[in-house]
């Protein structure tokens, strides 16, 4: 647990598929990923592909590097000893933000998939965050979105709620968007994949009616274009 941060009227969240730390030059460089996170400067970050896929599924970003190179700490998901995430999904919070609750969620899947969630002492009324990486199959994405949206809808009755991650959706009006759209507003920060010449709007952020979006976008820099095959997306919120 961390001491509660002072209440603030606005906060920034970000989502970033870090491609297991492997950049467009095919080098695995966790320090480069951390430098991109410092460029973005969000209060809360949901990561995808944050763990290696095989073996012990060790974290791509060693905890000592996170804490020595950034102002972030990982939300402790308590899954595997060497992992930071759950099926590659992880949450980082800026030091001083209280983590009041955290959990992992099993969802219907064809490939190994999961969702991570945390309740944070951030904003006027606290914040619940869901981080996800949806399936490549459209049918399974719809099933996953339905399950996640149902859980997040229950969470928003208690506090403001944000969902974010790599939805793996190329279409503008897909079934998974319809499922989420029953309860949440879907932001379109812009194209974020592939990082050098982004075309796909795969990385998305969603929010409930208790939050007002002040701005959102894709973080573009020379470093971000090299660090992963995705660019980070971000959104700044205030109470509605």
Where do the domains of the chain lie, and which CATH numbers do they carry? 11-239 (3.60.10.10)
Predicted local distance difference test score (pLDDT) of residue 225: 98
Q: How many CB atoms lie within 10 A of CB 53?
A: 10
For the chain, list residues with pLDDT below 70.
Answer: 1-8, 53-56, 80-81, 110
Omega within 30 of 0 (cis) for the link into 205:
no
Predicted local distance difference test score (pLDDT) of residue 85: 85
Predicted local distance difference test score (pLDDT) of residue 1: 47
Predicted local distance difference test score (pLDDT) of residue 124: 83
Q: Are 167 and 176 in contact (CB under 8 A)?
A: yes
Q: Are 91 and 45 in contact (CB under 8 A)?
A: yes
């Amino acid at each position: 647990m961390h001491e509660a941060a002072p209440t603030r009227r606005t906060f920034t969240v970000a989502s970033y598929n870090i491609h297991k730390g492997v950049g467009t030059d095919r080098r695995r460089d966790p320090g480069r990923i951390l430098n991109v996170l410092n460029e973005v400067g969000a209060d809360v970050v949901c990561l995808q592909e944050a763990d290696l896929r095989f073996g012990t599924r060790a974290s791509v970003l060693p905890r000592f590097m996170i804490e020595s190179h950034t102002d972030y700490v990982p939300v402790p998901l308590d899954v595997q000893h060497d992992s930071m995430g759950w099926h590659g999904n992880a949450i980082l919070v800026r030091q001083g933000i209280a983590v009041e609750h955290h959990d992992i969620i099993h969802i219907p899947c064809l490939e190994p998939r999961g969702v991570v969630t945390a309740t944070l002492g951030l904003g006027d009324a606290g914040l619940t965050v869901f981080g996800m990486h949806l399936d490549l199959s459209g049918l399974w994405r719809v099933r996953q979105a339905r399950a996640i949206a149902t859980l997040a809808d229950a969470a928003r009755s208690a506090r403001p709620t944000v969902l974010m991650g790599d939805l793996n959706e190329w279409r503008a009006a897909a079934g998974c968007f319809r499922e989420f759209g029953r309860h949440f507003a879907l932001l379109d920060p812009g194209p974020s994949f592939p990082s050098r010449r982004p075309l796909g709007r795969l990385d998305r952020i969603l929010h409930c009616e208790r939050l007002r979006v002040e701005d959102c976008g894709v973080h573009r820099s020379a470093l971000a274009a090299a660090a992963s095959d995705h660019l980070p997306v971000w959104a700044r919120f205030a109470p509605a």
